Amino acid sequence: MSTQAEANKAVVLRYNHEGIGQGNAATLQELLSPDFINHSAPAGMDNGPGGMVYFFLHLLHPALTDLQVEIYDQVAEGDKVTTRKALKGTHTGELLGLAPTQQAVVIDVIDIYELRDGRLVGHWGVNTLPTVLAQLAAK
């Protein structure tokens, strides 16, 4: 594998562990390019870097106070890195209008990030958050 692909994987790992898992705003700001576009953002959500920061730091972290990111697989080719991972935590705070349930949560995710000059410039992804929300609401 190329040195650039390995470097890109390291950036995405850092983004996941420091930025998302630890809720480190400085890391998120550093690694998200100002021209970042989240191509998978829900309608009405900011699809720029601010939307990603807001989602992780102001929606997900307060709802899942022990949030962890577990990386299962990572594949890099060219300027893209694909990651299969899980976001895990306990639902101890409001999550998108849903009152805390104290239930364990696992959100499965597959992300594709595009990188340029060591920063994230694009995102495409799928996740099980809607299914998890439905399961929590039913409890």
Is a pLDDT exceeding 80 seen at residue 139?
A: no
pLDDT for position 112: 98
CA distance 79 to 25: 24
Is a pLDDT exceeding 60 seen at residue 1?
A: no
Is a pLDDT exceeding 60 seen at residue 121?
A: yes
Residues 62-92: tens digit of each pLDDT: 999 899 999 999 999 999 999 999 999 999 9
pLDDT for position 65: 87
Residues 14-69: tens digit of each pLDDT: 999 999 999 999 999 999 999 999 999 999 999 999 999 999 999 999 999 899 99
Backbone angles phi, psi at 94, to 5 degrees: -60, 135
Tell me the whole-structure pTM to 2 decimals.
0.94
3-state secondary structure of 53: helix
CA distance 5 to 19: 20
Backbone angles phi, psi at 103, to 5 degrees: -90, 150
- In this structure, what is the dihedral angle of CA atoms 8, 32, 88, 105, given to the nearest 10 degrees? -140
Domains annotated for the chain, with CATH where assigned, are 3-137 (3.10.450.50)
Count of Cβ atoms closer than 10 Å to residue 104 Cβ: 11
pLDDT for position 126: 98
